[in-house]
Structure 1
Amino acid sequence: MKLFKRFPIIIALVLLAQSFAFMAQAQEKIVVVTNFNNDVQVLDKKGLIDLFMGKYSAFPNGKEATPIDVELDSELKSQFYKSLVGLPLARVNAYWSRLKFSGRVKPPAVEQTLDDIKQRLEQDESALAYVYESTVTDSMKVVYRFD
């Protein structure tokens, strides 16, 4: 019976712990990474905008670039586009809807999770993705850091 009296306290503590974990992740820095063997050492913000918003499909050295969006981590995706172009995700999605309809450019490739992105980056030298800084592995090269 005492357990049931403490149940609301336990639930409150669990919710508090989850909110702290969410806030910590929301505050985590985002970096843009590519395959470790990619020749590109650094990209500037304008170059990233051009690649992720469809203006260019190649790195500055002329080699093919494959920008990748993460599908199932909408918080990461939202933070990335807000930092990159200053727009909410809904506006970015509307932008791509218009461009896809025109058939002129193709949007970034899509991977479902950060684990999928890690795997893609290990296998594809043209891959370019955004991840939380704490998830960077030895097979990735950081080419841009948001301030």
Structure 2
Amino acid sequence: MKKYFAACMFLAINVSAQAEVAVIVNPSNGAAIDKDAIAKIYLGKTKSFSDGTKVNAVGLNSGSSVDEFTTSVLGKSSSQYKAYWSKLIFTGKGTPPEALDNEQAVIDFVAANADAIGYVDSAKVTDNVKVVGKF
């Protein structure tokens, strides 16, 4: 029984570690967006898409998608990302992307706003948004 439990835990951890995060935008967004541009947006280093349109970035409060996104795209752990933004907020140099409660809220927000960008588990993506990258 212990071996069965250990095997199940290993598989569960392995599957969750391989979850892909999709970066999504409104379908009307035609700007060129690559990993570097996404990182600059979420680190507050740019406030517009490549076509000059103001960007309205959203993320998630917590969860495996947050961890995967910060690690894969930003090269930071979730705690490093929070510390990064805490410093910018404290010094008055920036405001972090709004954190929404769940992935459906991110999808709904991005679908409703032409200037929006967000990230969700790639398995949760709907036809209401456009995927610009999977990480």
Considering the TM-score relative to the shorter chain, is it more than 0.5?
yes
Shift, 1:104, TM fit: 1.8
Whole-Å separation in 1 of the counterparts to 2:112 and 2:6: 38
Match of 1:3 in 2: none
Could you tell me which runs of 5 or more consecutive residues in structure 2 were left unpaired when the two chains were aligned. Answer: none
Helix, strand or coil: the match of 2:53?
coil
- 1:29 lines up with 2:20 in the alignment: yes
Whole-Å separation in 2 of the counterparts to 1:15 and 1:108: 38
Which of 54, 58, 62 aligns to 2:48? It is 58
- 1:70 lines up with 2:60 in the alignment: yes
Shift, 1:145, TM fit: 2.4
RMSD: 2.2
Aligned residue pairs: how many?
135
1:54-133 to structure 2, matched below 5 A, reads 54-73=44-63, 75-133=64-122
Q: TM-score, normalised by structure 1?
A: 0.80
What letter matches 2:49 in structure 1?
A: F
Match of 1:47 in 2: 37
Helix, strand or coil: the match of 1:50?
helix
Whole-Å separation in 2 of the counterparts to 1:69 and 1:58: 16
Helix, strand or coil: the match of 1:138?
coil
Which of 107, 126, 129 aligns to 1:137? It is 126
Identity of counterpart residues, as a percentage? 25
Does the C-alpha gap of structure 1 residues 15 and 113 become closer, same or farther in structure 2, counting only changes over 3 Å?
A: farther
Helix, strand or coil: the match of 2:89?
helix
Whole-Å separation in 1 of the counterparts to 2:30 and 2:120: 20
Shift, 1:76, TM fit: 1.1
Could you tell me which runs of 5 or more consecutive residues in structure 1 were left unpaired when the two chains were aligned. Answer: 1-8
* 1:59-90 CA distance string (max 9 Å, x none): 010001111111132x2101111111222111
Does the C-alpha gap of structure 1 residues 68 and 145 become closer, same or farther in structure 2, counting only changes over 3 Å?
A: same
Q: TM-score, normalised by structure 2?
A: 0.86
2:103–2:121 contact (8 Å) kept in structure 1: no
